[in-house]
A = this chain, B = another copy of it.
């Protein structure tokens, strides 16, 4: 292909990617504002958490009635990229956004990225159909929506871009989607900031030499992260499978999940495991004395919330689990606590979503460049040890881990 048509194609990708970034970044901004409101409202009126079972019942009924696509969530996005199919419904975007805010308002333990990814994908598919863009560009456009959503909701554009290229197929990076993912992620991040919406600031890590003894420690660390990841994935599947067998109606399942979360909440006697849990993540960078039960409890809270069918994502709870576990391990292994927390933060989600490259870059975008070799080593080893498991059951295996 000679220069002029190449410029045209590049221009097309950058323009359409930017447009998708503009929309998905705006959606992320609105979503973050609502989430902030929900978190604040819950924190100042904790009695609201008692209504989680009822909130679940109501949401479950609505989802069952109108939201089959919402229930399939990120798996629907992966399936559509992979095998085509009907348009990802545009109503998915508002439904999953409001559903996630609903989860957080009543204290479910969930994240954000699933929501941002699904909003981005449904917006991108909407753009494709609205502008009558040929079907052959569809996969790349949906990837761009994912990149725009992920990049803007965390303020990490390049991690978003790589996530959009990496998460669909295990062990493969879609270079074909490079241009639209890049444009969507950068414009998405800028758009979110242009709306005046910022992100949690993490500490910037200082330089730390990666010498052989530390490499050995990181291997042990990575094995522990893989174990936590497997524990999370298996527990969530177990809860989903058993609840699904025992309880017919999804609304009832969410009611039971809500009851369990409220029960646990009262038993542990702290609210730190509800919602996103950003304050605990930040404190993991400071105190190695966080307690070994902290990561385990967050794991259980999140597995119940998501296993029961509440909407949301996995990133922030898995950040919590990884950072809390990493913080504790840093004391045991003799690693600087901010490094233990920072590397752990990225490793569990990297392994759970099979996106070691995206999450390593994300850690660097959040914590500074010095973390990069450390986090790459741990993310990759944890990703291998986790095997062919994934929080996205629809994810394809492009390369067998061996």
| Residue positions of A touching B, CB distance < 8 A | 1-3, 5-7, 9-10, 14, 157-158, 161, 171-173, 175-176, 178-179, 182, 186-187, 189-190, 193-194, 209-212, 215, 219, 356, 360-361, 364-365, 368-369, 372-373, 376-377, 380-381, 384-385, 387, 398-402
Copies of this protein chain in the complex = 2
Which residues of the other chain, B, contact A209 by a CB distance below 8 angstroms? 190, 193
Q: A1-B387, A3-B387, A361-B372 are in contact. List 15 more A-B contacts (CB 8 A).
A: A1-B402, A5-B402, A6-B385, A9-B402, A158-B373, A158-B376, A175-B399, A179-B384, A189-B210, A189-B373, A190-B209, A194-B211, A365-B369, A368-B368, A369-B369
Nearest CB of chain B from residue A220's CB, rounded to whole Å: 13
Which residues of the other chain, B, contact A178 by a CB distance below 8 angstroms? 356, 380
- The CB with the most chain B CB atoms within 10 A, among A1, A7, A211, A384, is that of A384
Interchain CB contact under 8 A, B387 and A6: yes
Interchain CB contact under 8 A, B369 and A364: yes
Interchain CB contact under 8 A, B193 and A215: no
Q: Is the interface of A mostly helix, strand, loop or mixed?
A: helix
Nearest CB of chain B from residue A6's CB, rounded to whole Å: 6
Which residues of the other chain, B, contact A211 by a CB distance below 8 angstroms? 190, 194
Nearest CB of chain B from residue A133's CB, rounded to whole Å: 16
Closest to A379 in B: B182
- The CB with the most chain B CB atoms within 10 A, among A2, A9, A172, A369, is that of A369
How far is B401's CA from A7's CA once the two chains are assembled, in angstroms?
10
How far is B7's CA from A252's CA once the two chains are assembled, in angstroms?
42
Which residues of the other chain, B, contact A402 by a CB distance below 8 angstroms? 1, 5-6, 9
Interchain CB contact under 8 A, B186 and A7: no
Which residues of the other chain, B, contact A161 by a CB distance below 8 angstroms? 376
Interchain CB contact under 8 A, A400 and B171: no
Closest to A369 in B: B369
- CB < 8 Å: which of B1, B215, B399 contacts A186? B215
- CB < 8 Å: which of B175, B215, B381, B400 contacts A173? B175
How far is B384's CA from A9's CA once the two chains are assembled, in angstroms?
10
**A176-B399, A179-B384 in contact; A373/B6 too (CB < 8 A)?**
no
CB pairs A–B below 8 angstroms (26 shown): A1-B387, A3-B385, A3-B387, A6-B402, A9-B402, A10-B384, A158-B360, A161-B376, A172-B173, A172-B175, A175-B399, A178-B356, A178-B380, A182-B376, A182-B377, A182-B380, A186-B210, A186-B373, A186-B377, A187-B215, A189-B373, A190-B210, A364-B364, A364-B372, A365-B372, A368-B368
